[in-house]
Amino acid sequence: MTRSKLAFVSLMISLLFHLTSVGTAEPDMIPWPVGTTLSGQDSSRTLFSSYGTHHIGWDQVPAASGVNFHFGIDIDANTSSTDGCDVVRNVEEGYTCYWFADTLPSGSVQWLFVIGEEQLGSEGWNYQHLDEVNLAYFFTDSLHSVGDSIGIMHPEVSHPHLHFMRSEAPYYSNNAALCNPLDYLVPEATSADGFT
């Protein structure tokens, strides 16, 4: 092999390595994203709706199957675990990669945040249906700590809950979830906590 061919091959290999390493980082294990107190994050919670359950408004998986695939988990504000609560907390040290607001039928605004490990990162944990948000989370250059209160579950969402998922940033409605959050939560969800 000539030197230029060798250089080309090594360039292709490094490019391939780069492409396969972008956006495929395995998430770390995380505590639960809710808790009235910090220690509340160490309890499994009741799910209102689980990952993959039929959920109108989400993409059909497989395509055109008629089954709308829920790309995250919904944690019930009325969780029956140790402290029924609506306080949403950060699960991983990182930065706000994306945030978004939209208006509920009631006229109130609800917020969405994607928090990732890297500043201006391309993926992270995604928290939806928030109210009374922590203003620090609007700044993309401030490092957020595990356990910070990000906001509360919006009381005017029908059946108040946190929608929690792993997603790309920026997030567009119905872009595919990168994984099942239940595979990363500690402690593991149990059937007694509504995991289906």
Residues in touch with Zn ion (CB under 5 A): 74, 163
| Number of residue whose CB is nearest Zn ion | 163
CB nearer Zn ion, residue 47 or residue 95: 47
CB 2 to Zn ion: min, Å = 56
End-to-end CA distance of the chain: 56
CB 89 to Zn ion: min, Å = 18
The answer to whether 144 touches 96, Cβ cutoff 8 Å, is yes
113: buried, middle or exposed (CB in 10 Å: 19+, 13-18, 0-12)? buried
CB nearer Zn ion, residue 118 or residue 183: 183
CB 152 to Zn ion: min, Å = 16
CB 77 to Zn ion: min, Å = 13
CB 70 to Zn ion: min, Å = 6
CB nearer Zn ion, residue 95 or residue 194: 194
Strand partners for 167: 124
CB nearer Zn ion, residue 74 or residue 95: 74
Strand partners for 114: 98, 126
